[in-house]
A = this chain, B = another copy of it.
Amino acid sequence: MKYSTKLSDALHILAFLSMGAGQRITSAKIAESVKTNPAYIRQLMAALKNAGLITSTQGQANAELTRNPDKITVLDVYRAVEGNKPLLHWDIDTNPECGVGIYVQLSIADFYQEIQEAAEQKMQTITLQAIIDQYYKKLEKLALESGQEIIS
């Protein structure tokens, strides 16, 4: 299949809303930045709204975060758009008549759960604010490098 970019796109939306706070931001405007279509953006925004991360009203381009970006974690966004979908998938369709088949997979599933928890624990430490900070850091670095090029 295609790889899911829901989490990435949802974070993109939130960063966009946060950095453009005060302005009237339409789903069309966000779609332009993500290079996709407005309907897909609205679908993700519906999930974010449902999870209580943003507010919005029908007919108005007034979506905004419900709390500060440093109070929104990557895990919050993951839950909002991916729910309980795991990062790793065990093989649900092994041979039930072969005892090894199903029980090996169930054993693997137990350990996948541990890996999932480790990943989610890390997700919980990363905030939207951190992503925005990193973004500005990249912009500054870029500006600096362009400057040097001009000087040299």
Chain A contacts to B: CB under 8 angstroms: 1-5, 7-9, 11-12, 15-16, 19, 32-35, 74, 87-91, 93-95, 98-101, 103-108, 110-111, 114-115, 118-119, 121-123, 126, 130-132, 134-135, 137-139, 142
Q: How far is the CA of A20 from the CA of B71 in the complex (A)?
A: 52
Query: A91 — which chain B residues lie within 8 A by C-beta?
Result: 5, 8-9, 12, 34
Query: A12 — which chain B residues lie within 8 A by C-beta?
Result: 91, 94, 100-101, 104-105, 108
Give the secondary structure class of A's interface. Answer: helix
Chain B proximity of A117: nearest CB distance (Å): 8
User: In the bound complex, do residue B126 and residue A114 qualify as a contact, i.e. CB atoms below 8 Å apart?
Assistant: yes
